[in-house]
Amino acid sequence: MKSTPNLLLLAVGLSLVVTPIPVRAFRLAVLTDVHLDLNYDPTVAPEAKCQKGQLKKSSTVAYYGRKNCDTPYALVESAVEKIRSLNPDLVLMPGDIASHFVQIPLAQEFSVRAYDQLKHVLANFTSLVREKLPNIPVVFTLGNDDYIYNYQVPAEKIKNDFYGFLHQLWIADTAAV
């Protein structure tokens, strides 16, 4: 790796010593707006949003995704493996990890099933990142699609559970590393 010399100036008594210091470039990787869809079906037509259980099939199989569909696990895994091959010093994950299909409309009543599905997606993605990038610091943040109600902080009744879940997932589990 090419290093760029910086200069360190040391004042020693009345004399000045100039010493070159090699500086290595800082390598940063950013993976954002993943929108991981754990229900992606590579055989379903994009008009059906590529979700498992849909009857409208496509004439082609698309393991790595289709236009108008959220991201399949295979493509996310491939992207994380590419990041590993770049050997960054730090990885930023600035949110929108969960699929667009996990959130519930604001007017709709809270759904334990949807909330559990959201936590499952976040845990699955975090597990993949931790497995593929075990020695690289990763900073996770939440995006608007990473809450049960889009663009809304968690309701009081789940706030402690949700933030406790994220703390365990993103912070507490890394303390021993």
Q: What pLDDT does 1 receive?
A: 47
Return phi, psi of residue 71, to 5°.
-80, 125
Residue 152's alpha-carbon distances to 96, 100, 104, 147, in angstroms, are: 13, 14, 11, 7
* 118 closest CA partner among 69, 60, 165: 165
Half-sphere exposure of 107 (CA within 13 A, CB side): 0
Cα(169)–Cα(77) distance, integer angstroms: 19
Q: Which two tokens stand for residue 39?
A: 């229900």
Residues 121/98, Cβ–Cβ less than 8 Å? yes
Q: Tens digit of pLDDT per residue, the chain (177 long)?
A: 454 444 444 444 455 556 676 777 889 999 999 999 998 888 887 777 677 767 678 888 889 988 888 999 999 999 999 999 999 999 999 999 999 888 777 777 888 888 899 999 999 999 999 999 999 999 999 998 888 887 777 778 888 999 999 999 988 766 554
Q: What pLDDT does 133 receive?
A: 94
Helix ranges, 24-99 (H): 73-86
